[in-house]
């Protein structure tokens, strides 16, 4: 089955949840809530370096499990997607994903002291085209007679 909807751009522009997530919103790291803040900071950094993080949009309760692309031949995330060096005490995150059938990119910045910050989603035109082409091919193969 296809992973994306037929008209991703239209859904991105009209879906109420997606429209809300396009605006800069308060975000937080939402994993390991049973641990101390210091332990959560360590786990957050480790998870980011290893390729994943759970981020929540506070205003509407949307939770994202982000999976960051790794550096080729490495088990670690590229600084293109998780950047701890851009600004002291903050991490900048960028992550492509499919949300509700639409290719988007998450952009966020979290303060390492509080594990909270600001984030939003943007439409990912390039990946949307790739997924659209894959969708067309998949549907064509499904409807082809055997």
In the 8-state DSSP scheme, what is residue 55? E
C-beta separation of 62 from 90 below 8 A:
no
**Total Cβ atoms within 10 A of residue 121:** 26
Residue 13 tokens read as: 């522009």
What's the pLDDT at 1? 64
Residues 12-65 have pLDDT tens digits of: 999 999 999 999 999 999 999 999 999 999 999 999 999 999 999 999 999 999
C-beta separation of 79 from 66 below 8 A:
no
What's the pLDDT at 71? 81
**Residues listed for the chain:** 146
> For residues 15 and 115, what is the distance between their CA atoms, to the nearest angstrom?
28
Domain range annotation of the chain: 8-143
What's the pLDDT at 15? 97
Residue 146 confidence (pLDDT) above 70: no
Residue 97 tokens read as: 């994903």
The arithmetic mean of pLDDT across residues 69-98, rounded, is 90
At the fourth CATH level, the homologous superfamily of domain 8-143 is: Core binding factor, beta subunit (2.40.250.10)
Residue 79 confidence (pLDDT) above 90: no
E strand residue ranges, the chain: 25-29, 52-57, 63-67, 82-83, 90-99, 102-111, 116-123
pTM: 0.88
Averaged pLDDT score across all residues of the chain: 93
Residues 106-145 have pLDDT tens digits of: 999 999 999 999 999 999 999 999 998 888 888 888 777 6
């Amino acid at each position: 089955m296809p992973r994306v909807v037929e008209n991703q751009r239209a859904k991105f522009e009209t879906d109420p949840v997606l429209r809300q997530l396009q605006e800069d919103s308060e975000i937080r790291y939402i994993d390991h809530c049973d641990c101390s803040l210091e332990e959560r900071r360590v786990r957050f950094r480790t998870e980011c370096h290893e390729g994943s993080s759970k981020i929540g949009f506070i205003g509407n309760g949307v939770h994202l499990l982000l999976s960051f692309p790794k550096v080729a031949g490495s088990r670690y995330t590229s600084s293109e997607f998780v950047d701890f060096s851009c600004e002291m005490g903050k991490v900048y995150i960028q992550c492509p994903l499919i949300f509700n059938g639409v290719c988007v990119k998450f952009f966020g910045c979290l303060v390492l002291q509080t594990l909270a910050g600001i984030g939003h989603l943007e439409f990912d035109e390039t990946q949307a085209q790739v997924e659209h082409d894959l969708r067309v091919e998949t549907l064509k193969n499904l409807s082809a007679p055997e």
